[in-house]
Amino acid sequence: MSLAQRVSEWTEAFRIALEQLRSHKVRSLLTALGVIIGIVAVTLMGTAIKGIDKGFTNSLDMLGQDIMYIEKWPWKDVGDEWYKYRNRKDIDLDGSTQINDWINRNPDSLLRLAVPSKGYGANIIRGDRSAPGIYINGTSADFTLMNTADLLYGRFFTHSEDISRQNVAIIGYDVAETLFPEGKEQAVGEDIRIRGLKFHVVGVLERQGSFLGLQSFDKQVIMPLSALLKITRWDRGNSIRVQVREGADSTLAMDELTGLYRRIRGLLPEEENDFEINRSAALEEQLGPVKSGLALAGFFVTGLALFVGAIGIMNITFVSVKERTREIGTRRAIGARRQAILLQFLIEAVSICLLGGVIGLGIAYGMKAVVSHAFPSFPFTFSTDLVILACLLSILTGVLSGLAPAWQAARLDPANALRHE
Amino acid sequence: MEPVIKIRSLRKLYHLGETEVVALNGVDVDVHQNDYMAIMGPSGSGKSTLMNIIGCLDVPTSGTYHLAGEPVDEMDDNELAHIRTRQIGFIFQSFTLLPRTTILRNVELPLVYSGISREERAERAAKALEMVGLRDRMLHQPNELSGGQRQRVAIARALVNNPSILLADEPTGNLDSRTGQEIMALFEDLYEQGQTLLVVTHEDDIANHARRSVRLRDGLIESDTAIPQPALARPR
């Protein structure tokens, strides 16, 4: 069996498949429908999963991939153990000073910087306009060194404003949009009111976008901790944000911080941690089930559509074998090997599937374009690996559905096939 | 000289459910280079089975078959396919051309399966079509040709691989008698050019064109007679 013969067998099989597609356009298209649906499903699902990933990563960047949050509650569903967390002591914001002292005394520390953060929810008022339920973050001037939020207009507050308890505020994008419809740049220098106190806006944050209901800077107001303390003494929303030194191993940094904060809390070795160190990476783990659920649904729909499609293609290939029994006999008599006949019908089935796959990809791409146009914020991504996956799935479907009829065709006795009417 | 076909004690059994059908029951026959042999016999005599075995479409249950010196009865399916491309040119009653495919392409087909290059294929197919007088039709499709022309295309297809034997199964069965005579005249030409021909037929008229007639009955050779030529003067 020479290479030239094999090449000829393959090219002949492709030629026949194309000829079949051309002469049975409607039949091929109808048969490919199941595959089309399957490929649309798998592509859209893959696109959605990738989109969620991307949106989530954007949100995580906002939280800071390198920032650890010392808090009372973990960032996960606590279920029946909620009372254990509720009974923990609130976080004492002085801890941030102690951590910074430790960092200054230990040049080898994997930690870079700690800032206090007091969270509080309130309505923000300007004239007769109101932004309800805004998250207020009272922190230190070092917050800006963590680079989690960029300013669109104005500036951040200074150390001296913090120490002298100045009523200054940096407002999020959405807050600025609600309160200053005439233009966000107008906000800087204006006054807003929170719980009856007047605050001077010194900066507006860049738009961050939010995803899956995660807290976004867009609906936040940042102010000096000393100023927020005038409004509230409520400590339940306290946290200390600690940034890891660049390039440091996050697990080792977490160990260091855990040990350090245990000492600050004065815990005995046998006592459990009575605080939580949260990281954005932990949130990512929680997204896992959502993604796998979506993937499962996607693969179920895809699998079902491809299965139905495969049955259809198997059926039509059986019909094709029956219709062309005499042709098979002729080809065999002329010198085609069994493999050549097998290949011919396999490639015929695969080409119908590939046709379906390509059409499916086209439809999915069109749908993606429409969705992206209607909801520009939805992070839809269409990637080459999805295209490759779709093509591979089509080919696999074709091979699986073509195998039985092709095998039947190859096994035909040439003498009988020739007599077939 | 070694015969092209050498068949000894050839038996072929079929199983139809519980019953065993003996299609060939010990056939011995030699076919030499440039023989022109008619295989005759009533239906059920085993002539189709013999033709299928000679054409390497089927294998015997027992006995030996040497084609051009090679033991065909010991070959597997791939080797048989290979032998068919190289040694045998088939001509069938119903032409069996591929529809929606040009004449040229139809004639090229055996060369495709033997892996001949595209240029050589076209060249050889054109030459074969020339031999049957249809070179000017090579870009037509089978449904644009008459029955006789289609059968000539089939003959060109059978010839394109320069086979050792040309095997025709009722080649004129689907043609009117005048066209049938044309085909037989073409066979005569091929015979005179040195081709070895085997024609399976149940018509004496057709068989009488051959030089030798083998008659089968109940799986056995009943008679093997020479047909005196030119006693049957061919109209020229």
Residue B236 has a pLDDT of: 47
Q: Which of A330, A344, A413 to mutate to test the interface with B (most CBs of B within 10 A)?
A: A330
Residue A104 has a pLDDT of: 93
Alpha-carbon distance A171 to A184, whole Å?
10
User: Does the pLDDT at position A34 exceed 60?
Assistant: yes
Residue A378 has a pLDDT of: 65
- Expressed in angstroms, the distance from the first to the final Cα of chain B is 32
Per-residue pLDDT, averaged over A102-130, amounts to: 91
Give the residue with greater pLDDT, B198 vs A5.
B198
Residue A211 has a pLDDT of: 56
Q: Is the peptide bond before A132 cis (omega within 30 degrees of 0)?
A: no
pTM, entire model = 0.72
Which chain A residue has the Cα nearest residue B155? A334
Residue B160 has a pLDDT of: 94
Residue type, B137: R
3-state helix, strand, coil in chain A (%, to 5): 60, 15, 25
User: Does the pLDDT at position A382 exceed 80?
Assistant: no
**Chain B residues contacting A via beta carbons under 8 Å:** 48, 52, 55, 57-58, 77-78, 81-82, 84-86, 90, 92, 94, 96, 98, 100-101, 109-110, 112-117, 157, 161
Strand boundaries in B41-188, DSSP class E: 62-67, 70-71, 88-91, 165-169
Alpha-carbon distance B205 to B225, whole Å?
15
DSSP character for B144?
Answer: G
User: Does the pLDDT at position A250 exceed 50?
Assistant: yes
Question: For all residues of chain A together, what is the average pLDDT?
Answer: 87
Residue A155 has a pLDDT of: 92
Sketch out chain B's domains with CATH numbers. Answer: 33-59+75-226 (3.40.50.300)
Contact criterion met (CB < 8 Å) for A338 and B100:
no
Helices B77-87/B103-113 angle, 10° precision: 130
Strand boundaries in A168-321, DSSP class E: 168-171, 191-194, 197-205, 220-224, 238-244, 276-279
- Chain B CB contacts of A7 under 8 Å are 115
Per-residue pLDDT, averaged over A8-18, amounts to: 90
Q: Which of B14, B43, B84, B165 to mutate to test the interface with A (most CBs of A within 10 A)?
A: B84
CB A332 within 8 A of CB B78: no
Which chain A residue has the Cα nearest residue B159? A334
Domains of chain A, by residue range, sit at 3-59+285-419, 89-274
Residues 6+ apart with CB under 8 A from B232: B208, B209
Shortest distance between the Cα of B213 and any Cα of chain A, in A, equals 23
Residue A397, classified by CB atoms within 10 Å of its CB into exposed (0-12), middle (13-18) or buried (19+), is buried
Task: For residue range A170-200, list pLDDT tens digits in order.
Answer: 999 889 989 999 888 889 999 999 998 999 9
Alpha-carbon distance B177 to B111, whole Å?
32
Positive/negative CA dihedral, B225, B30, B113, B119: negative
Which of B48, B110, B116 is opposite residue A334, by nearest beta carbon?
Answer: B110
Task: For residue range A261-308, list pLDDT tens digits in order.
Answer: 999 998 998 888 889 998 877 777 777 787 788 788 878 888 888 898
Per-residue pLDDT, averaged over A152-180, amounts to: 92
Residue A395 has a pLDDT of: 92
Q: Which of B138, B96, B137 is nearest to B121 (CA)?
A: B138
Both structure tokens of B44: 């059920």
Which of B78, B96, B161 is opposite residue A1, by nearest beta carbon?
Answer: B78
The residue behind tokens 């009988």 is A416
Positive/negative CA dihedral, A244, A248, A250, A252: negative
DSSP character for B205?
Answer: H
Which chain B residue has the Cα nearest residue A8? B115
The alpha-helical segments, DSSP class H, found in A135-279 are: 159-163, 173-179, 225-231, 250-265
Alpha-carbon distance B128 to B104, whole Å?
10
pLDDT band at A246 (very low <50, low <70, confident <90, very high): confident
pLDDT in single tens digits along all 236 residues of chain B: 789 999 999 999 988 888 888 999 999 999 999 999 999 998 889 898 999 999 999 999 999 999 988 999 889 988 999 899 889 999 998 888 988 899 999 999 999 988 889 999 999 999 999 999 999 998 999 999 999 999 999 999 999 999 999 999 999 988 998 999 999 999 999 999 999 999 999 888 889 999 999 999 999 999 999 988 764 555 54
Contact criterion met (CB < 8 Å) for B114 and A327:
no
CA distances, A207 to each of A138, A150, A185, A286 (Å): 20, 9, 13, 25
CB B191 within 8 A of CB B163: no
pLDDT band at A215 (very low <50, low <70, confident <90, very high): low
- Nearest 5°: the CA angle A127, A132, A136 is 100
CA distances, B96 to each of A331, B89, B153, B155, B174 (Å): 9, 13, 10, 11, 12
Please list the residues that pair with A198 across neighbouring strands. Answer: A193
Give the residue with greater pLDDT, A281 vs A389.
A389
Which chain A residue has the Cα nearest residue B82? A335
Both structure tokens of B229: 């030529």
Alpha-carbon distance A246 to B167, whole Å?
84
